[in-house]
Structure 1
């Protein structure tokens, strides 16, 4: 099998992007009874499934990189690269879990946390590229291939559509209304 062609990317973008587009579009439409749109239903259910799977995807990415990590351990400064990259991925996974917990608790904090999680994608990619490039002394262009960059860009754009959905959806606005426990305690006093 060769590299991922432009047609593969187009098919993947259409198969994922079209449903997300319609989710964002339907979120912007006024509902007949907006108060009835509460809970994990409709497009929000797809988002919830995706968010629940995101830490597992990050863990799978970590596992898929194990062969490369084993090879890097033999290179000068390789262990430092491996430990730094693993720490970065684990930190991102922990943040994904924080966002997941906020979502499951229907916290008001879910929307800004989801936005930060989206913005963390390019930050993590840039930090990782700089880390690897600096540690082993190669250019960033050798660290980040065109295919990997395309994957990150597609992921960033698609998740950006979900962020737009989260900020426009009546169901999301009606579902994520709970204030944190520390605020509830302070309000009860």
Structure 2
């Protein structure tokens, strides 16, 4: 498979711009001062948050063939469009959480927690939608280890949620009064 220059330029734009703004918004602190800004584990979380919407896009791209097959079934269009609405809605919420993170909003921690809770909610709604509209048992929808990826995502994101609520760096970065934050 050959990728042209333009493919790589688009990838660089999609990945590079969020990472650039995250790094740019990092505040340098002296070694004696309490950690603040995007550094350490928080930088890793910021990069992951910037790339999270791309994961949703890759899920959609990987499902196109399946979507085309489901469209031929009665009520298949409702399933396909319903799943797309769920996934795109979740992706937009991930972007909102990332923007709150880069802006160092005091709302980031709460939004990140809600994003974590949305993982099983989106999965359950998607499974219920498919099962009800296509009139198939949920066990058939979940066949083949379909629940593994959401469970792993929920557990790993839970570790990051714990970090966000326990980290001194996160507290200093997002809970500081507005006058003390640097642009």
Same fold (TM over 0.5): yes
SS of structure 2 residue aligned to 1:43: helix
The TM-score with structure 2 as length reference comes to: 0.77
- Residue from 60, 65, 78 that aligns with 2:63: 65
Q: Which moved more, 1:144-153 or 1:93-102?
A: 144-153
CA distance in 1, matches of 2:104, 2:143: 38
Deviations 1:83-131 (A, max 9, x none): 0000000100010000000000000000000000000000000000000
Measured on the aligned residues, the alpha-carbon RMSD in Å equals: 1.6
CA distance in 2, matches of 1:148, 1:42: 33
Structure 2: unaligned runs, 5 residues or longer: 1-30, 179-183
SS of structure 2 residue aligned to 1:145: coil
CA distance in 2, matches of 1:137, 1:147: 20
Tell me what 1:56 maps to. 54
- Residue from 121, 124, 140 that aligns with 1:123: 121
SS of structure 1 residue aligned to 2:106: coil
CA distance in 1, matches of 2:176, 2:99: 12
CA distance in 1, matches of 2:154, 2:160: 10
Shift of 1:162: 0.4
Structure 1: unaligned runs, 5 residues or longer: 1-31, 181-189
Matches within 5 A, 1:1-189: 33=32, 35-177=33-175
Q: Give the number of equivalent residue pairs.
A: 148
Q: Larger RCO: Structure 1 or Structure 2 (Cα < 8 Å, ≥ 6 residues apart)? A: 1
CA distance in 2, matches of 1:152, 1:172: 26
Shift of 1:147: 1.6
The answer (yes or no) to whether the contact 1:107–1:178 under 8 Å persists in 2 is no
The structure 1 segments of at least 4 consecutive aligned residues displaced by more than 3 Å after TM superposition are 177-180
CA distance in 2, matches of 1:110, 1:146: 35
The answer (yes or no) to whether the contact 1:102–1:110 under 8 Å persists in 2 is yes
CA distance in 2, matches of 1:161, 1:36: 23
CA distance in 2, matches of 1:130, 1:74: 20
Please identify which structure carries the higher helix content. 1
The TM-score with structure 1 as length reference comes to: 0.75
